Amino acid sequence: MSTYEEWCRNLDSQSGNLIRLAYENDDITGGAWAKMLEDGIRPIFEHFKCGDPDRVDSMISYLTEAKYVLGKDLREHLGGAQLDMDGWHGGAADDFRTWLLKLEDAINLLADCIDALMLILRSYKAIVLAMRSDVLQLVSTTLKGIEEAEASDWKIALAVVGAVAGVVAALPTGGASLSVTAVAASMVAGAAGVANEMMDADSENGVIQEMIKIGWSMIGKINGESGRIQVGLIELSGYVTGGKLAEVRPDRPVVITAPSFDPGSFGMTDEAQGKHKRRPTDTTDLVPEPKRHEDGPYDKAGGVIAEEYDQYEEQGPA
């Protein structure tokens, strides 16, 4: 059983226990109040099931590997390409060198964006873990209030508020890339420092009713922190879309050919050519740009009024 499944099973047990206590302590309305409380308990506990920190750890592991591969390609392939260009001169050589430099910048920018994405994922994980801590505290406080048949202005401090700011505050003070710094700043803009909830009731089921009220307030605050994740993702997408797309996917250079070049002489000997009879005939670009595939429908939006559009254009026009 995964830790997420264990968490869900724990919540089902806790909510079932609270519902049972609500019916046991409803000696006035004949179960009507308890039914109302049951209808309030179930949805908030379903909300509390959201989020899986283990999946975040897996994503970060994949991203770490992707960043390693980018660095490996940068060292092995681009470095080797530059060495292979020794002795190549002319306009085509200059264009190719410029393209290699743009590729190097693109790889470095993508590595920075991976760092920013990992920051966003760590912030998401912090929200989930803080939410779980707050939920356990809320349940514990509620059970104590039921046992004492009252709760007189009991304070519940919420860890989820400020969870993202805590992750950002742990970043190294120097050396962060522009994209990481911008994403971090976007996620903590206007962040609140602390937040508390107060529980005040004079009966067992009154305590449960207060718990439901606080639970919905907590969900609102959780959504507020989750909104910071969305803001960070929007900020990050600005580094790889629109006008910035060419910086992470520079256009390939056109291979320049001399006016006297004969495309028919470009290729292997007739004997080596074998069944591959076709020889180049296009003198404009010996290595044409590959056809770009159309993006999937995953990021298209549309409806009755708005037409479908490709929000990110990862591949450009097909």
Count of residues making up the chain? 318
Local confidence band at 162 (pLDDT 50, 70, 90 cut-offs): confident
Give the CA angle between residues 147, 153, 154 to the nearest 5°.
60
Overall average pLDDT of the 112-126 stretch: 93
Structure tokens at 67: 């960043």
Mean pLDDT of the chain: 83
Instruction: Count the helices and strands in the chain (H runs, E runs).
Output: 10, 4
pLDDT at 285 exceeding the cut of 60: no
Q: For 193-203, what is each residue's pLDDT tens digit?
A: 668 889 999 89
Local confidence band at 263 (pLDDT 50, 70, 90 cut-offs): low
Overall average pLDDT of the 149-178 stretch: 82
Q: Please indicate whether residue 51 or residue 191 has the higher confidence score (pLDDT).
A: 51
Q: Which of 75, 175, 179, 78 is nearest to 119 (CA)?
A: 179
In whole angstroms, what is the distance from residue 162 CA to residue 192 CA?
6
Q: Strand, helix or coil at 155?
A: strand
Structure tokens at 116: 């920013």
> pTM for the whole thing?
0.80
In whole angstroms, what is the distance from residue 287 CA to residue 280 CA?
10
Local confidence band at 318 (pLDDT 50, 70, 90 cut-offs): very low
Local confidence band at 119 (pLDDT 50, 70, 90 cut-offs): very high
Overall average pLDDT of the 77-96 stretch: 81
